[in-house]
Each structure stands twice: as C-alpha cells, then as structure tokens.
Structure 1
Amino acid sequence: MTIRAMILDIDGTLLSSNDAHARAWVRAFGEEGLDVTYDRVRSLIGMGGDQLAPRLGVPEDAARFKRLKEGWKTHFLDELPTLQPTNGARDLVRGLLERGVRVIYGTSADEALLGDMLKQAKLDDLDVPATTSSDVEASKPRPDIVLAALDKLGLPPGEVLMLGDTPYDVQSAAQAGVRAVFVRTGGFDDPEEALACFDDAAAVLAHLNDLLPS
C-alpha cells in the first residue's frame, strides 16, 4: 500500500529535548517534596504528563499533579532556548513535503509549547499541521494522538507511517494500526516492533526510497 503521509514526533525526534524534559520533571517533583531519580524519570520521557506522573505516584486528578505540571513547564521553558534540532530534522520535513508526502506532527507536548518547540527546531516557518496532548484525553503511549492525526489526515492507518524516538511512540502507533519508524536520538534501545530503526532524521531521509517506494 502506498504511504501518503508521515506523523512526526517532535521531542527527541526533531528537537534534542528529552534530557531537558527529564531535568524539568525532576526539579518539579523535588519542589513537591518527592524524591524521584533522574534515571527513573528519563526512562518515561516520551509519555505526556498525564501518563508519566501517575507512574511516579501522583494521580492526574490530584491538585499536586497540577502543580507538578506547572513546575515542569516552567523549568523546561528555562532550558528551551538552549536546545538544538536533531541532525537532519529540517531536511527530513522539507524532503517529505517536496516528495508530496503529507506531514503532521504528533506530540505528547501540549498546544501551548508547540510553537516554541518548532521555533527552536527551526521548523516554525513550514506549514505543517499538528496534533498535541491538548487535542486528546490521553497522551502517548495511548493511541489517541495518532488517531487524532489520522482523523486530520483523513487517511487509513495503512497509508501512514509514524516517526518517533521512544518506545512510547511505537506503542502509540501500533495501537492505532500505524507502522512506526524509530530514530535513536531519544536515547532508547531499538524496539522490536518498529518497522525500521535509524540513527537520526538524516538517516531516515537517506532511506526514504526504501520506506516510501514509488
């Protein structure tokens, strides 16, 4: 079946931001008097806060969760101006668009952060739609964000690929019936369920003929 579109994750995939997210969460938990290690938090980066916090003992509906999320955002925004695009990120997005492949961002970040992240990734001038955690009830690894992207594209799952850097991207895509391509820029091991694994966006671009045969 012809691939007509790709859903692109942003954090870790197009922007080197996973470590900054982990540091921000650790600081936010510390401000709440909760001792959560960096390694534990880092292993969960790729999930949205609604999925991450409960796994660390804070239910999403708790008042503490709201304070945690506000603290995380404050600390992440402090680091955001220092973050860099991943290798080949812009070239990949442009390459897909020039090839006639539709592109949509699918991120566990919320709508309020999207513009700033795209600016830092040097992608803010490209006309690409997005689905974020603000659009759905549950973030990755739940399939909601991928399903919302499919709805916006108006395409069946078999005509779409997902590109992500965490096992949670792959799990989210699989639950939506979408095959996932994995990049190692997020700091995770290759997931067995991925259709293909590459070092970074530049490597994905170099192998587009294999991923998107005419």
Structure 2
Amino acid sequence: MNRAALFDVDGTLVDTNHLHVVCWWEALRQGGHDVAMHDIHRAIGLPGEDLLARLLGEHRDTSEDDTLSAAHSTLYGTYFDRLPPLHAAADLLRELDRRGWRVVLVTSATDDELDALRRAVGADDAITATASSEDVTEGKPEPEPLHHALGLADAAARDSVFVGDTVWDMEAGSRAHVACVGLLCGGIPRRDLEEAGARAVYRNPADLLAHVGNSPFADRRRPPDPTA
C-alpha cells in the first residue's frame, strides 16, 4: 500500500509564477496583444493552449498559438540557470520521503522546463517520479495528470495528497479524488483555493513542513509495517 505525495512545481516548490507572467506578457505584447498582468497571473498553471484561450478568447486566431507559446518558452528559458526555489522546498520533499511517501512531481511544464525546475529544487534523492505536460493529452484542471502520477507511484487516490498553488491544481486534485493542499506562495488568495477544493492552506513549503504532522498528510493511510 503506497502513499503518494504529489506536487505541482511552478509556484509551489519554485518561485516562478511571476516570471511566467512577465514572459507571457512580453510574448503577447510581441504578438500585438494588450493583456493585463493580473489576468495572466490568474491563468498561470493552465497548459499553454488553454491559457491563451482564457486570455484571448475561444474565437482567437489559433494559428498564432505556437508562435506565442514559443516566444514565452524562449523568454522563460533565459531564467533556467537561476530559477529560485522556495524556502524549505527540498526539506519538505525529503521529510515526506523519510516518512515513507512516494514523491511525484506533477507539472504543466515541458520536459526541458522540468529539468531546470528539478535542478532548482535540488531534491532528486527524494523524488520517486515526475510527470510533465508531455506525458498527458489534457492538462490541469483535468484530472489526467493526477491519474498518471498516481500510476507512477502505484498508489490509490484515497491514500494520496496533492500540493499546489493554483485553483487549477485544486480542481484537478478534487476531480481525481485526491486530498488537496493549497499554498499561498503562488499568489492566489486562500478563499479561491478553498473554494476550488483545498482541504488545508499554508503560506509556503516551510509552513507546510512545520505543520506536516497535523496536515492532510497525517490523515492518509499508513503502509503496513513489514516487520510486524
């Protein structure tokens, strides 16, 4: 009986949400689109096509999508060597690994972005598996990324917890019937995370680590003791 600790990465373990906002704003500006940064921020965490649909409308010229996404990726790539991990992110993953959880990263990032994010977190020794946008056909808020991650961990939803920072994370976890924990470090208000399905909300990884003993992680089933 495995227990999976599923983690979003951008805005949850690495302080990148506002970098994404600036990069999407500049990519959109280059494409002739005037979009407020506040609106972009609320869309962060969606796959690129869904983000553009939310910001530009379903009836936009979709032939621009690849160009806009490529511009964002190029701009964001300039930060790969200095992405800032959130305080205690690595410590949190290692503590959960020590407690017997299978840690799986679940992200809308591409494989190249995920490699840079993993280097930033610096806790590969505690990570069982990773799931990127290239592993699924539908991203968050659809539950497919969570189902894929649970398969990688060989764990049931009822025994697992998903930690994220956006409403899309909370909605995906809820649809996958996984206990959801929200973090405020991505910039989304507590009430929005709770309304989207968060069972508990913490300020950041350090806050969750300090309270992990009475968080939803404490409520999940414990694996049997093989020596018993």
Could you say which TM-score interval applies, normalised by the shorter chain? over 0.9
Q: Secondary structure at the match of 1:46?
A: coil
How much identity, in percent, do the aligned residues show?
30
User: Does the CA contact (< 8 Å) of 2:131 and 2:148 recur in 1?
Assistant: yes
> Which stretch of structure 1 is more off in the superposition, 10-19 or 74-83?
74-83
User: Does the CA contact (< 8 Å) of 2:13 and 2:121 recur in 1?
Assistant: yes
Structure 1 vs Structure 2 CA RMSD: 1.9
Q: What is residue 170 of structure 2 aligned with on the other side?
A: 170
1:195 equivalent to 2:194? Answer no
**Structure 1 gap segments, 5+ residues each:** none
Q: Deviations over 1:145-203 (max 9, x none)?
A: 11111121222211110000111110110111111011111001112221111111111
User: Does the CA contact (< 8 Å) of 2:2 and 2:155 recur in 1?
Assistant: no
Q: What is residue 16 of structure 1 aligned with on the other side?
A: 15
User: Does the CA contact (< 8 Å) of 1:3 and 1:158 recur in 2?
Assistant: no
Matches within 5 A, 1:32-47: 32-47=31-46
Q: Secondary structure at the match of 1:163?
A: strand
Distance 1:205 1:148, change over 3 A: same
Q: Secondary structure at the match of 1:84?
A: coil
Aligned counterpart for 2:210 among listed residues 188, 206, 212: 206
Give 4+ residue runs of structure 1 displaced > 6 Å after superposition. Answer: none
Q: Secondary structure at the match of 1:148?
A: helix
Q: Provide TM-score, normalisation by structure 1.
A: 0.92
Distance 1:61 1:169, change over 3 A: farther
Partners of 1:104 and 1:58 in 2: how far apart? 33
Partners of 1:208 and 1:125 in 2: how far apart? 20
Structure number with greater Rg is 2
**Structure 2 gap segments, 5+ residues each:** 223-228
Q: What is residue 31 of structure 1 aligned with on the other side?
A: 30
Matches within 5 A, 1:84-103: 84-103=84-103
Matches within 5 A, 1:123-202: 123-124=123-124, 126-190=126-190, 191-192=193-194, 193-202=197-206
Matches within 5 A, 1:75-86: 75-86=75-86
Q: Deviations over 1:39-75 (max 9, x none)?
A: 1111111212122011122669933111111100011
Question: What amino acid sits opposite 2:11 in the alignment?
Answer: G
Question: What amino acid sits opposite 1:202 in the alignment?
Answer: A
Deviation (angstroms), 1:38: 1.1
Q: Secondary structure at the match of 2:189?
A: coil
